[in-house]
Each structure stands twice: as structure tokens, then as C-alpha cells.
Amino acid sequence: MDNVGRLLLRLLLVPLGAVAAVTVASLVVIFSHTVELRGMALPPDPERPLLIFALVPMIAFVGSFAAAFSLAAAAIGALIAETFAIRSWLFHAANGGLAGWIGWSLTQEMRDQYGLLVGPKSMVAAGLAGGLAYWLVAGWTAGFWKPVSRNPQPQGG
């Protein structure tokens, strides 16, 4: 019965961890591109903050496609972590970073068309942050068949 409870808990925590990872990664991508837009050498313009505000949804739209590709790659790593009960934050952060790079590399045509996500640094950073967010929610207890802590069995007599 204990294994069934842990399995049900994993079925709840893994999707919640994925939602947390996607949310954190999206915020990192939006923040990095907003900072990049503010740092561009554009002539002074009183409507520049409005331009930046208008570009944030476009960045989120293009980033969502990259996130979809990244999420597919990250799901493979999460499946490996669940199968082998890998609970290391380094594994989950590296999985997120690799997934971010894969998402960046698979969106070449979209990046060329919109001119966004020009470098892999923001996507890899978003993947690292997303991997850590996943670890905080679900990764540190990975593997339903391996309990986090075992109660010592009484030595009887």
C-alpha cells in the first residue's frame, strides 16, 4: 500500500514540478530579453518603455515554442531520474540546461524570422533555473519505489 501512495504522490508532484520549471524558465527568458532590449543602443525615445512592454508578449510567444521543444527533452531526463531515483540537484540543473540548449537549437527558423532568442545563453540559463525549480518541487524525491527516508525497523526480542 505504501508503494501505491508514493506512486500517486509522484503522479501529482512530477506535473507540478514541470509547471514550476516552465514558469521559472519563462520568467528567466522574458527577464533576460527585457534587460537586453533596455541595454540596446537605441536613440532616446519617450515611447521606448511602451515598445519594450509591447515586445514582451512576442518574446513570450516565441519562447513558448522553444519551451515546448525544451520540455520534451527535459521530460526524457525527468523520466530517467524517476526510473533510477536520481535525486541530485546537479542532474536536474544539467538536464534543464541541456533541454534549454536543445530548445534553442531546434528553433533556428523562428529565431531568424523574429530576431529573438539570438544567443543560447538565455535559454541555457532558463533551463538551469527551470531544472532547479523542478528539483525543488519534485526532483529531490525522485523514484516512487525508493522512499526518501526509511524508519528504522525495531530490533526485537
The pLDDT value given to residue 71:
82
The pLDDT value given to residue 157:
47
Q: Which three cell numbers stand for residue 110?
A: 523562428
pTM of the model: 0.74
The pLDDT value given to residue 9:
83
CA-based nearest residue to 58, from 111, 109, 122, 126: 111
The pLDDT value given to residue 63:
65
- Indicate the length of the chain as a whole number: 157
CA distances from 56 to 29, 59, 60, 114, 147 (A): 10, 5, 6, 13, 43
Tens digit of each residue's pLDDT (9 = 90 or more) over 60-85: 676 667 777 888 889 999 889 988 88
The backbone region for 18, taken as left when phi is positive above 0, alpha when psi lies in -120 to 50, beta otherwise, is: alpha
Contact 95, 27 (CB under 8 A): no
Q: Which three cell numbers stand for residue 104?
A: 534553442
Residues of the chain with pLDDT under 70: 1, 36-49, 51-52, 55-56, 58-60, 62-64, 111, 114-118, 144-145, 147-157
Distance CA 100, CA 28 (A): 11
CA-based nearest residue to 59, from 30, 83, 35: 30
